[in-house]
Amino acid sequence: MGEVRTVTDADFETTVGGSGWVLVDFWAPWCGPCKAIAPVLEQVATEREITIAKVDTDSNPMNAGRLGVRGIPALFLYKDGKVVSQQSGAMPKPALLKWIDNHMTADDF
């Protein structure tokens, strides 16, 4: 189904700017909630047709800053290169899937 990909500032636009669904996870190695949500995101990639783009904000701060990320984990959901929704903080898998599915099944896409 989907895949998990490590993304840098250099290849961010290439990753999110294509067609299809991309969930960008802005995280940092020292962030406890980021560590907690990581396995959930890996599961989501196996269950949905979506790319999970993981951006370490310590090494790649440019796009997080440009998008106004104030806290991590910060999740940005893209469809065909456009942000359709965003969430801050870790969430349990059912809530994460509901958030994603509400957008992926919306008629306006």
Residue tagged active-site, from 7, 34, 50, 55? 34
- Whether residue 31 lies in the annotated active site: yes
Bin 20: left if φ > 0, else alpha if -120 < ψ < 50, else beta: left
- Cβ–Cβ contacts within 10 Å for residue 6, how many? 12
Residue tagged active-site, from 31, 37, 55, 91? 31
Query: What is the Cα–Cα distance from 5 to 36, expressed in whole angstroms?
Result: 18
- Whether residue 34 lies in the annotated active site: yes
Query: What is the Cα–Cα distance from 71 to 57, expressed in whole angstroms?
Result: 10
Question: Hey, which residues are catalytic here?
Answer: 31, 34
